[in-house]
Amino acid sequence: MKKLIVANWKMNPDAPGRAVLLAEKIERGLVKVKNTEVVIAPPFPFLFLVEKVLKRARLGAQNMFWEDIGPYTGEVSWHQLKHLKVKYVIVGHSERRALGEADELINRKLKAALKSGLRPIFCVGEKEGESREEILERQIKEGFKDVPHNQVKNIIIAYEPVWAIGTGKNCSVNETRESVLFIRKVISKLYNDKLADGISVLYGGSVNSSNSNSYIKTGASDGLLVGGASLSSEDFLKIVRSSGQI
Ligand code: PGA
């Protein structure tokens, strides 16, 4: 399976010129990269410009609304994303959950993304002090409600423990492996073993160029969701190369 490395730029950079420059630098570094799918998820206002410079990397969005069209001030539809050639969309990121997105709403977004043909990157993860298994099981059960069997293979799950995001405290490889296995167990209970084995599960949380290869080479995860370190083309390219697929 191709490894998937996703750059989540969050609300960065501050200006379109800097976004284009960063995307160009990343693109140039991908010339010899094989067997790794790289996705760049810039803020909405930069999607159009960033798409113009991407050749190898795919375009991702950081969020979307579940309705097709209508009076929803401030929301962005999947139609609009598809017109901008977006292929992936992050759904249920913990930073959005922290702003009030609940499981039910995330479930609507996940189903809308699947219906539209965008590939959702569905984020799950526990906060410090919470029971990891309890949280993962709930978020997956609620998030996948009414998702039919034939759509499961199109979903990518990102295990992102909230305590590891942007904190410099990354989850150990062993804990990551355990969490990924647990996620597969939940999918297997909800669906079947084949879908559980086939689904891509990424790790995210303070991934940098020194720790990235431990997750990939050991097979603990199928790829990475990278925040802070994706804002430096050098660091991000080191992470892509460390996936060992060059
Ligand atoms: P981080 O963010 O790499 O800065 O910890 C990861 C994420 O939020 O997806």
Q: In this structure, which residue's CA is closest to atom 2 in ligand 1?
A: 227
Cα–Cα distances in Å, from 229 out to 79, 99, 126, 205? 30, 23, 22, 10
Catalytic residue among 37, 95, 137, 160: 160
Tell me how far apart the alpha carbons of residues 213 and 64 are, in angstroms, rounded to a whole number: 31
Q: What residues does 88 pair with on adjacent strands?
A: 60, 119
Is 27 an active-site residue? no
Tokens at residue 3, please? 């490894």
Ligand 1 atom with the shortest distance to the CA of 206:
5
Q: Render the burial of 43-74: b for 16+ CB within 10 Å, e for the rest.
A: beebbeebbebbeebbbbbbbbbbeeeeeeee
| The pLDDT value given to residue 246 | 41
Residue 39 near ligand 1, beta carbon < 6 Å: no
Q: In this structure, which residue's CA is closest to atom 3 in ligand 1?
A: 227
| The pLDDT value given to residue 1 | 79
Nearest to 87 by CA among 117, 53, 54, 131: 117
Tokens at residue 150, please? 């034939």
- pLDDT mean values, one per 10 residues, the chain (246 residues): 94 98 98 94 98 98 98 98 98 98 98 98 97 98 98 98 95 96 98 98 96 91 97 97 69
Report the Cα 131 to chain-centroid distance in Å: 22
Q: In this structure, which residue's CA is closest to atom 1 in ligand 1?
A: 227
94 close to 162: Cβ distance less than 8 angstroms: yes
Task: Tabulate helix, strand, coil % of the chain (nearest 5).
Answer: 45, 15, 40
| The pLDDT value given to residue 217 | 86
| The pLDDT value given to residue 243 | 81
The pTM of this model reads: 0.97
Is 160 an active-site residue? yes
